[in-house]
Amino acid sequence: MSFLRITVGVFTAAMTVGSAIAEAADLPGSSGGATPCTVALDPGHNGVATNTFDPVTGVLMADYPNGQEDADALEIARAVRDRVEAAGFGAVLLKDAIDDNVSYRDRVDRAAAGDAVMGVSIHTTPGADGSAVYPQRVGGFRTGEGADGQRTTVTFGDVATAAESQRFSTMMAGARSVAELRGVPVTDLSFDGREGLWGGNLPVLSLIADTPWVYNEFGSVTGGGAHGISTAEKARYVDGLSAGILAGLTASPRCAVAGSVGSL
């Protein structure tokens, strides 16, 4: 309980000001409530190399195992899940084991089936300046050769989902900046010129998700990606992700208590 009060100051204040409901048992997602307010946690890369086309959008879903990154991401995702659940919210993991074969389509379908309010991808990368948060944006796209051999472009166009993704991403970047003791920006990616991938500027997962998605990279000073990150770096990543997720869930209009407070 002390963790919740310290980390999610917004929620504590809301509970105090907003109503007489001040017990942890009344948090969204706790027993006795309706559907838990849930986050979908997406740890790292696929367990096997995969190169298929999304049956819904036609985008190329290319992914590959990436050594220690995938073990680190799964460990971090499990720790974040425990934090989120301890605070009374729900969490679903989109991979259960390091070598699970779960396509991007499978992942967004699992997030939707779990009625997730937010999807959170967890990655690591070399370089102290590599930490970043990537939101969905209207007009974000990927482009390349489709299953029929024709040039194909898939573009993100869901205004409401993009707006929520950007709102969550801002909260995530703030929480992670505090935990990592450095600035973590909300910014954009480029996949142009990367061998075996379609060009463009949205991760495929973010592009095809109907769920507001927050795609995270953690920049490691000593390793990162396939080289792994240190125990201290993992702890900072877990802290930042957990606080960012709890802030986002608390502020989501889909989470009943926070939604009612927002109308005051």
CB-nearer residue toward Zn ion: 123 or 176: 123
Considering the complex, what minimum distance in angstroms separates the CB of residue 89 from Zn ion? Answer: 25
Distance CA(68)–CA(173), nearest Å, equals 24
Considering the complex, what minimum distance in angstroms separates the CB of residue 264 from Zn ion? Answer: 41
CB under 5 A: which stretch of 82-90, 105-113, 115-123, 169-177 binds Zn ion? 115-123
φ, ψ at 134 (rounded to 5°): -115, 115
CB under 5 A: which stretch of 9-17, 19-27, 117-125, 154-162 binds Zn ion? 117-125
CB-nearer residue toward Zn ion: 63 or 164: 63
**Closest CA relative to residue 110, chosen from 208, 253, 247, 244:** 208
CB-nearer residue toward Zn ion: 105 or 123: 123
Asked if residues 125 and 72 have their Cβ atoms less than 8 Å apart, the reply is no
Considering the complex, what minimum distance in angstroms separates the CB of residue 13 from Zn ion? Answer: 36
Binding-site size, Zn ion (CB under 5 A): 1
CB-nearer residue toward Zn ion: 123 or 234: 123
**Closest CA relative to residue 37, chosen from 25, 28, 24:** 28
Asked if residues 251 and 243 have their Cβ atoms less than 8 Å apart, the reply is no
**Closest CA relative to residue 108, chosen from 152, 60, 42:** 42
Residue whose C-beta lies closest to Zn ion:
123
Find the binder of Zn ion among 81, 123, 142, 176 (CB under 5 A): 123
DSSP 226: G
CB-nearer residue toward Zn ion: 123 or 236: 123
Considering the complex, what minimum distance in angstroms separates the CB of residue 190 from Zn ion? Answer: 15
Long-range CB contacts (< 8 A, 24+ apart) of 114-117? 114/38, 114/40, 114/90, 115/35, 115/38, 116/38, 116/39, 116/40, 116/92, 116/211, 117/37, 117/38, 117/39, 117/211, 117/212, 117/248, 117/249, 117/252, 117/254, 117/255
Considering the complex, what minimum distance in angstroms separates the CB of residue 49 from Zn ion? Answer: 14
> Under the criterion CB under 5 A, does residue 107 sit at the interface with Zn ion?
no
Compose the 134-163 pattern: x for residues touching Zn ion by CB under 5 A, - for all others: ------------------------------
Q: Contact residues for Zn ion (CB under 5 A)?
A: 123
